Amino acid sequence: MPEGDTIWRTAARLRPALAGQTLQRFDAPRLQGDRPRPGVEVEEVEAVGKHVLVHFAGGLSLDTHMRMTGSWHLYRPGERWRKPRHLLRCRLVVPSWEAVCFSAPVVRTYRRDGRAGPLGPGDDPVAHLGPDLCRTDVDLEEALRRMEEVPEPGTTIAEVLLDQTVVAGIGNVYKSEVCFGCGLDPFTPIEDVPPDLRRRLLELAARLLRHNLTTTRRTTTDGGVGAVAVYGRQRQGCRRCGTPVRMVHHGAQARSTYWCPTCQRRPGGRRAPAPATVRWTS
């Protein structure tokens, strides 16, 4: 899935083109839910976690989840699309703009007014998400509280950081980068991570996400625009100590985790053993 900053940038591009405009046409061949009618006003576009939401007057909202394949494009009327039409999943036409969503696996509408929709009465698809770290008013106390409620002992901190019901916005990049930035082995069980270190992880993730809300060249460490500490750098020397960075596909969804086995330790200074049930890339 894309990182939270990518979704925020998408919403920021769509907002000035759509918000306050009258919908002229709506196409969504695989839509789940009610269709917004031409003539309705687009009230707002926002990002919540990994979701792009378009809110229409009257209480109907469009939810698109990009996962690994989806993207939104903006075109002027008559402008040639950069992707083939068979990949269209949703199109909103307003005066002066066409907003086109390609290849998104999730395209659905829901009701914000409590009336029954495809997900049930008042079933908001983002209500279960944790606090969004891209927001300047993010509630870190709530995120820390949710960390305490992780049900399975032994769940690694890497998995917890990716859990959008705990905290929204972190993907594989920021998971790896914040664990490195805090010197924490990503395979440390959540119960072994003390409260002050949990807070440091969330504070660093929020700071890095917000730093990258306005640029496509994501930067998480010193070294110039686009520099990252460990993500995507397997076999390359750690920027701190020179040890080759390692990567594993980790957790139930085999998500990639990058780390330096020298710089990152468990609390107390112990070097963590690598997980035994993952596919290694040395």
Positions marked catalytic:
2-3, 50, 255
Residues 6+ positions from 179 with CB-CB distance below 8 Å: 157, 158, 161, 185, 186, 201, 259, 264
Q: Which two tokens stand for residue 222?
A: 């010193």
**What's CA 186's distance to the chain center, in Å?**
19
Q: Which among 181, 180, 161, 183 is positioned nearest to 172, based on CA atoms?
A: 161
For residues 217 and 5, give the distance between their C-alpha atoms in angstroms, rounded to a whole number.
Answer: 11
Residues 6+ positions from 262 with CB-CB distance below 8 Å: 238, 241, 243
Question: Between vectors from CA 200 to CA 199 and to CA 204, what angle results, nearest 5°?
Answer: 120
Element (H, E) at 20: none
Residues 6+ positions from 191 with CB-CB distance below 8 Å: 153, 154
